[in-house]
């Protein structure tokens, strides 16, 4: 019995010691992995490259309107150290602008040349063009006040007449229904000289100037060369149309 009391007392003392001991801190959470370093070898900015190529193609062909280019085929752009400046120069152009083009480019990165590359491009050239608001008849004057405009890709609809053309010397060469885009096939230059009419001919050589009357045997707009007949000698010769019922012989 005394031994049992001693064991029980020892057990109670041990339990009391454990209760009085300070609590152990919880294990620390594992540290979050370090952030991955920023890409130190990014590829050339495709948008910046296309912007340079677009500007050079537009300047080379003197294009009017908004030229838009896309890569027709995926191309693996060279990788450069972060912050490295680069420049693109088009060294070979197509013979004419088109909706699909191949151009040869030289790239420079940090002043050092990279290998030449060939870019396959899809192109659009957007500008406003003339459309008919109402039916137009053959022979009518080209009058922009009677027309509307709409945006058009001139590399697809090459014959459309841009809205910056407002030439009063143009006439309708054929009838055109309402709501149609006007094309260069629909118009012609207004003839200033008409077949069968008498015209004034001026012949100038240095300080010497001679004027005579002749009969036009052809219609002609400004700048056209037409055949005329001398009213007295009946001889025919060519002259350049310079104004209404006026032509000039150039030596």
Residue 116: per-residue pLDDT: 86
Query: Distance between CA atoms of 97 and 147, rounded to whole angstroms?
Result: 28
Residue 225: per-residue pLDDT: 92
Q: Model pTM?
A: 0.66
Query: Distance between CA atoms of 236 and 80, rounded to whole angstroms?
Result: 72
Query: Distance between CA atoms of 235 and 230, rounded to whole angstroms?
Result: 5
pLDDT tens, position by position, 71-88: 998 776 666 666 667 788
Query: Distance between CA atoms of 131 and 180, rounded to whole angstroms?
Result: 5
Residue 13: per-residue pLDDT: 56
Query: Distance between CA atoms of 45 and 55, rounded to whole angstroms?
Result: 16
Q: What is the mean pLDDT of each run of 10 residues along the chain (251 residues)?
A: 50 54 51 44 70 96 95 73 75 95 87 83 97 94 93 96 89 94 94 92 83 92 92 91 90 70
Residue 160: per-residue pLDDT: 97
Q: Is the Cβ–Cβ distance between 228 and 236 less than 8 Å?
A: yes
Residue 55: per-residue pLDDT: 96
- Kindly tell me the burial class for residue 208, based on how many C-beta atoms sit within 10 Å of its own C-beta (0-12, 13-18, 19 or more): exposed
Query: Distance between CA atoms of 217 and 228, rounded to whole angstroms?
Result: 5
Residue 37: per-residue pLDDT: 45
């Amino acid at each position: 019995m005394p031994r049992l009391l001693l064991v029980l007392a020892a057990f109670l003392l041990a339990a009391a010691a454990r209760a009085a001991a300070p609590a152990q801190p919880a294990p620390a959470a594992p540290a979050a992995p370090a952030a991955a370093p920023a890409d130190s070898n990014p590829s050339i900015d495709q948008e910046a490259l296309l912007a340079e190529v677009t500007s050079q193609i537009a300047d080379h062909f003197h294009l009017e309107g908004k030229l838009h280019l896309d890569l027709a085929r995926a191309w693996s752009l060279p990788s450069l150290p972060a912050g490295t400046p680069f420049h693109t120069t088009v060294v070979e152009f197509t013979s004419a602008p088109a909706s699909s083009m191949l151009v040869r480019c030289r790239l420079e990165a940090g002043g050092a040349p990279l290998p030449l590359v060939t870019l396959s491009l899809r192109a659009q050239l957007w500008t406003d063009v003339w459309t008919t608001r109402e039916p137009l008849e053959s022979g009518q004057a080209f009058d922009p006040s009677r027309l509307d405009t709409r945006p058009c890709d001139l590399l697809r609809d090459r014959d459309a007449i841009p809205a910056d053309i407002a030439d009063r010397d143009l006439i309708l060469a054929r009838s055109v229904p309402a709501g149609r885009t006007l094309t260069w096939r629909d118009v012609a230059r207004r003839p200033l000289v008409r077949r069968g009419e008498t015209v004034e001919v001026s012949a100038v050589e240095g300080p010497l100037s001679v004027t005579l009357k002749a009969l036009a045997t052809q219609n002609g707009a400004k700048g056209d060369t037409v055949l005329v007949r001398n009213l007295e000698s009946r001889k025919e010769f060519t002259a350049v149309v310079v104004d209404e019922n006026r032509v000039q012989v150039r030596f």
